[in-house]
Amino acid sequence: MRPLTGLFPTEDYPALVVGLGAPDDSAVYRLDADQAIISTVDFFPPVVDDAYDFGAIAAANALSDIYAMGGEPIFAVNLVAYPDGYGMGMLAEILRGGAEKVREAGAAIAGGHTVTDKEPKYGLAVTGLVHPDRIITKGGAQPGDRLVLTKPLGTGVITTALKNGLAEPEHIHAAVASMSRLNRDAARLAQQFGVRAMTDITGYSLLGHGHEMAHLGGVNFRIEYNALRWLPGARQYGQQDSFPGGMRRNRDYFEQWVRFDDSFAEYEQSLLFDPQTSGGLLMAVPPENVTALMQQLEQTGDSASLIGVVEPGDGIITVSR
């Protein structure tokens, strides 16, 4: 999108609160003093074999960008690419999985568009609402803030192991449950406890999205590796080098901003660059609020962990034991 920024200078679009000027999880357009529209889109090929689960995961992933801005989704439209000859039964299950996840979020499916493609793809364009004074962007973290992550990591290596016929059923079940879980409760608690910056962990990995937050906030992040939570099987498949291609692309680009304080095995480093699907929310939390937030997250069923601290700096992430 960078070549387009000159076509839409921020001073010409004052109501576009979040756009191409400072890229974030969603675009935000202020309607008036009390309401702003959040708009986002996301779709991808199947990450699991079950059509219904794929639909639910893709929908949760798209809805997550609304939650990452501190908003609430109100409606969505389907985006579908589907091959000729696959039959409508599978497509119906994909759409049902997505629709039921949207309904769980308190939003509605309002339409959609379908094209023919060689591989199935599904996702949503989602519209949400937020008060203009309560938008939570990626920037805004301050030195001393604590870093909280609301879901365990490992979906990339687990779904790749599934594609390679290596994944155990119980590991797939746990990953599907995590990817299908909405970030709704966590986003509402972020508003309640004054979270200063937030993003969801998806394709750019924990370190990639973490760098985006740190860079936009003009700070550094220190992450404690031993505090991270992993989905069952994630470390096992990492040791087997069951990584998607996106891990290497993430590592090639983002490692220039990463420092490993201690001795880490190659697979341990790679796990931190592993692309996630429908991952958790990474929050920069005022230190005085972090204990209460963690207690509330536990009560809502979020597998949250306190993973690090914000320090003065310019976008560097340091990983220690």
Per residue in 256-280, pLDDT tens?
999 998 789 999 999 999 999 999 9
Six token digits for residue 92: 């119906």
Tallying the residues shown for the chain, one arrives at: 321
β-bridge pairing 317-320 and 219-224: parallel
CA atoms within 13 A on the CB side of 226: 5
What per-residue confidence (pLDDT) applies to 204? 97
Six token digits for residue 54: 């794929």
What per-residue confidence (pLDDT) applies to 9? 82
The CA distances from residue 2 to 7, 8, 20, 41, in Å, are: 10, 11, 8, 18
Backbone angles phi, psi at 76, to 5 degrees: -145, 160
Q: What angle do CA 19, 22, 26 make, to 5 degrees?
A: 45
Asked if 81 and 5 count as a contact pair (C-beta separation under 8 A), the reply is: no
Q: Which domains does the chain have, with CATH numbers?
A: 2-134 (3.30.1330.10), 146-320 (3.90.650.10)
* Cα–Cα distance, 297 to 276 (Å, whole number): 21
What per-residue confidence (pLDDT) applies to 221? 98
Backbone angles phi, psi at 268, to 5 degrees: -65, -40
Closest by CA position to 78, among listed 89, 90, 94: 94
Asked if 275 and 180 count as a contact pair (C-beta separation under 8 A), the reply is: no
Closest by CA position to 317, among listed 213, 247, 234, 243: 213
What per-residue confidence (pLDDT) applies to 1? 67
How far, in whole angstroms, is CA 54 from its chain's centroid? 16
Residues of the chain with pLDDT under 50: none
| pLDDT tens by residue, 89-117 | 999 999 999 999 999 999 999 999 999 99
